[in-house]
Structure 1
């Protein structure tokens, strides 16, 4: 039996993908990358086989607003080790074994947005810059926000990570016509 038929398949498995070599979860979680790197994560997570191949094992969804993954190897983020990450929209977060999020939020110099009823949210915008879409030439605003929070579905845990977004600039209000002159001549 000849192995020539299988050679392309063997080569495909032997050569790591470009994404595998460029996927830096700690950098994404700690807001040290950009929107393009975060966007490259979406197709990987959309395919469970690709996710597993990159060391991300999908976990049962305990919160309808986020997907959670167990890592094949622990990572260190914000000085703490974790084996779990969560993704919600354009946010990627480490799930940390830390019951009180306040010390981490303080160390990261985050502004507390909400702290009551057992819920905590703090964040800070690290990047807000004008960019141009290379394909369309459209003006956009790149925003990168570091955050720390708690969520009811994960008691005793702290979520810490980054949100990456591209937004359209606010439209300028249309100029208003001068008010008609009222008065007599």
Structure 2
């Protein structure tokens, strides 16, 4: 090992346990975490060194909408073991070797949104709570949605996981309703 490589390793070593200790992937997949923890995973996976420190090995991209990782240590999620996760937008999902997603969706008491043409999607909101944006102080709604789905890029597999989002509250109607005028 060259001297610069040794120096880099010595600099990174103290940060590795802290990074790895900060993200509980099974809890994120099972919707047992919040927006902050999901953001920590996103930040870690954006940096290859941090991803590796978390035990995440980048995998070839089979689907243009997902970034996939192999777990250094298999995880148990929803009572099933996996060593493969995928991230897509605000979602973190386990990639499970399940041909039929319906039994898992039933176990998790999910509502089926679509089941046709070889595609399956089911989900339910598990958390919806008022919160405040820490940067702006603006009122927000934290929403966490549990879902089970299939994608054509992964035949014979089921995606199961969680979507974490921070949304603006729906605008309330503040303007008075228009009234009919009586013109004579």
State the distance in 2 between where 1:155 and 1:39 align: 29
SS in structure 2 of the partner of residue 10 of structure 1: helix
1:142 is matched with 142
State the distance in 1 between where 2:8 and 2:95 align: 39
The answer to whether residue 156 in structure 2 is matched with residue 153 in structure 1 is no
Unaligned runs of 5+ in 2: none
TM-score, with length taken from structure 2: 0.90
The answer to whether residue 8 in structure 2 is matched with residue 23 in structure 1 is no
Q: Per-residue displacement from partner, 1:77-115 (whole Å, max 9, x unpaired)?
A: 000110100000010000000000000000000000000
Residue 16 of structure 1, CA deviation: 3.8
1:57 is matched with 57
RMSD: 2.0
SS in structure 1 of the partner of residue 26 of structure 2: helix
State the distance in 2 between where 1:177 and 1:94 align: 48
Do 2:20 and 2:55's aligned partners in 1 also have CA atoms closer than 8 Å? no
1:10 is matched with 10
State the distance in 1 between where 2:23 and 2:180 align: 61
Note closer, same or farther for the CA distance 1:110–1:44 as it changes in structure 2 (3 Å cut): same
Highest Rg: 1 or 2?
1
Unaligned runs of 5+ in 1: none
Residue 47 of structure 1, CA deviation: 1.1
State the distance in 1 between where 2:7 and 2:134 align: 38
2:170 is matched with 170
1:77 is matched with 77
State the distance in 1 between where 2:92 and 2:83 align: 14
Note closer, same or farther for the CA distance 1:160–1:177 as it changes in structure 2 (3 Å cut): closer
Do 2:124 and 2:146's aligned partners in 1 also have CA atoms closer than 8 Å? yes
Q: Per-residue displacement from partner, 1:29-51 (whole Å, max 9, x unpaired)?
A: 00000011001111111111221
TM-score, with length taken from structure 1: 0.90
State the distance in 2 between where 1:160 and 1:177 align: 45
